[in-house]
Structure 1
Amino acid sequence: MSFLTENVGSSHVSSISILDTDIEINKILIVRPNHRLGNMILTTPLIQEVIDTFPNCEIDLLAKGNIAPIIFNNYTNIKDYILLPRKPFNELIKYCLVWFKVKNRKYDLVINAVKGSSSGKLLTKISNSRYKVFGEIDDKVIDKNSDSYHMAKNPIYNLRSYFSVLGLHKNERKIASLDIKLAKDEMVEGGSILKDIFKNDKKTISIFTYATGSKCYSKSWWCEFYTQLKINNPDYNILEILPAEYVSQIDFEAETFYSNDIREVASVIANTDLFIGADSGIMHLASSTKTTVVGLFSKTRKEKYKPYGNGSLAIDTNANNANQIKQIIKEVLGKRMCLMS
């Protein structure tokens, strides 16, 4: 499919004329046909960019599965969700109806949120809109912006490049961080849960010891890491956030929190001082809570998926030994304390 759709939309920009800067963009479709938690979270900066650029716009979000309405619950500009079934061949009629819906609705602008999505390109292609962003970023834009490889930032640079070609020169602001937009009552509830678990006034470090496939560190790695983390940070509580699979790489040695409510998990992490975990959907969720995140990378490319903003950073565990990781975490906590004081 990637080969077949490689050139879809490649001639779109050259086929339209330069526009007047007072063009009205009101109705927008953002296409991200994916169901994974991390990929949905990584789309939040793009949606913030669209809202910042067109504050009064109405957005339809095309995604897969049922997670998108939960993630974007507090994004008031999103008016409708067009949801593909997770298993298209099990619900073929529902799957086809989504394509008809995209074809029949009228939009001012359609944005394919990730360049590697074949179905995203095709859905953008058939959509009823004159202005379409297919996701293919110009090499000059990549050369100019060293962070354009990042999965959350790439579509924003692409969108800005498209606007530039059209003559829509908008003020380029700093790219937003990931943001699940927790409400005040959610933050309060997360704090209450944390208080009930530890029943003290210490600050808390949250850890997530699970990840899918080869991204998951071994039990021996995590047990050694957890032991050192306790020794090096006696003034902190340590909370393990458990995955949906309800497993622990440290055999439940720390206090734990488990919930199948994504926003509740986010609210608890938001009340901790630091989150440490391997590259995973939960790592991106933690990053979206504005908590400082230390991402552990051994297999995936940190330049593409690393947490950013809020003092967050990524550690290549292949290039840093245990003592170096310990020192990095110490420095991160020190900087956070300075910011909070």
Structure 2
Amino acid sequence: MGIPLHSKIRRHLRSVLNFILAKRFTPRQKTGKIDPEKIKKILLIRINYRIGNIIFTTPLIRALEKKLPDAKIDMLVGASFTKPIIEKMPNVHEVYPVPRSLIKQPIAFYRFIRMLNQKRYDLIISPATGSVSANIAAFLIQAPLKLGIFRPDTWLPFNITVPADEKTLHEALKPLAVMEAFAGTPHRYNRFLDIALTPKEREEGKKLLHEKITKGEKKYIVGLFRDARNDKKIADTWWKTYLHEMQKTAPETAFIDILAPGQSPLSEEIPTISSKNLRNLAKIFSALDAFICADTGPMHLASASMTPTIALFNATDPAYYGPLGEKDKTLQINEMTTEEIAAACREHIDRVV
């Protein structure tokens, strides 16, 4: 299954609009340094509708917390279901979803922009390069300082830009380039995902998980998540074979099937659990000993919950999209047998848990 036609059309239209705007407003590099002491209210713009891309902002959010501990961050996201991921992070104040339908409602759109302008932000940050929707939002919302990453082929409504970090491949770490715009001693920022679950939330996760499964005589509880988008999805027939092999390879492990909304269970042999609230899902992930999945948004959610995550890649490059935790592992499975994959998973779990 490839990329859906409607997604291809949206991408093409965005590219055309970006080309027109870039031709009309020639992009120019605009350097400058921002005084952290003068920044109290920030609007971070990441209007995206995928779980992973919103979680990819967490290294930047934590970096801003370190550099500007007294500043409060409001954030524009795409889908409302991603809001719970971010809204409880320590320095995040408000999270505003921007549904795709908003642009079709002129009065509601005008009121939304007016509401944001009444916030009187000191700084707007748009860390995504080439995002037309983010650039339009940054253009319409007022702030004395607007910070983005320079691209020579993109319309840029910013008065301060920083060069893109060409040495960094991973999409979650590229936004950290904007931290170069702040005056003062450079910091070393965490280069992993972190949604800042509290100890209380982790205890809640244990209770939610233990309502469905307990270790008993087993050594580990490992979660499986089978859903993924387009070509990244791995067939259930493969997962059944893999589960059987894991049960032989790691008999001391209890497995739980973590279901996406509307998904059918993989097997009657193992329990299931699900949650539409992504923050609650992260709590459950945090109670697992390990999490195994394809290349999917919940992979990053588990990694950002500090759960050892094993990602099974079959279509995309983990250098750009793989999990970032110290206890995470990526397997390129196209040239591996299920026996080899199960053995590698067993070895990794024994080593890091």
TM range (shorter): 0.7 to 0.9
Partners of 2:133 and 2:278 lie apart in 1 by 26
Residue of structure 1 in register with 2:17 after alignment: 4
Q: More displaced, 99-108 or 271-280?
A: 99-108
The 5 Å alignment of 1:70-149 reads 70-88=84-102, 91-103=105-117, 105-136=119-150, 142-143=165-166, 145=167, 148-149=168-169
Deviations 1:54-80 (A, max 9, x none): 010011111223234411232232222
Whether contact under 8 Å (1:28, 1:110) holds in the other structure is yes
User: Does the C-alpha gap of structure 1 residues 274 and 198 become closer, same or farther in structure 2, counting only changes over 3 Å?
Assistant: same
User: Does the C-alpha gap of structure 1 residues 263 and 102 become closer, same or farther in structure 2, counting only changes over 3 Å?
Assistant: closer
The 5 Å alignment of 1:181-330 reads 181-201=196-216, 202=218, 203-248=220-265, 250-330=266-346
Deviations 1:246-301 (A, max 9, x none): 324x3444221122232222212111111000111211111111001111111222
In percent, how many aligned pairs have the same letter? 25
SS at match of 1:222: helix
User: Does the C-alpha gap of structure 1 residues 212 and 328 become closer, same or farther in structure 2, counting only changes over 3 Å?
Assistant: same
User: Does the C-alpha gap of structure 1 residues 101 and 279 become closer, same or farther in structure 2, counting only changes over 3 Å?
Assistant: same
Deviation at 1:94, TM superposition (A): 2.1
Residue of structure 1 in register with 2:178 after alignment: 159
Partners of 1:46 and 1:207 lie apart in 2 by 29
Deviation at 1:97, TM superposition (A): 2.7
Q: In structure 2, what residue type is equivalent to 1:114?
A: A
Whether contact under 8 Å (1:5, 1:121) holds in the other structure is no
Deviation at 1:154, TM superposition (A): 0.7
User: Does the C-alpha gap of structure 1 residues 251 and 28 become closer, same or farther in structure 2, counting only changes over 3 Å?
Assistant: same
1:64 to 2:78 alignment = yes
Deviation at 1:105, TM superposition (A): 4.3
SS at match of 2:18: coil
Q: More displaced, 192-201 or 28-37?
A: 192-201
Deviations 1:159-189 (A, max 9, x none): 13434xxxx2443314342222223232222
Deviation at 1:329, TM superposition (A): 1.3
Q: In structure 1, what residue type is equivalent to 2:239?
A: W
- Unaligned runs of 5+ residues in structure 2 are 1-13, 153-161
Q: In structure 1, what residue type is equivalent to 2:93?
A: K
Residue of structure 2 in register with 1:178 after alignment: 193
Q: In structure 2, what residue type is equivalent to 1:217?
A: I
Partners of 2:34 and 2:317 lie apart in 1 by 40
Deviation at 1:48, TM superposition (A): 0.9
How many residue pairs get matched?
A: 325
Runs of 4+ in 1 over 6 A off after TM superposition: 137-140
Whether contact under 8 Å (1:35, 1:86) holds in the other structure is no
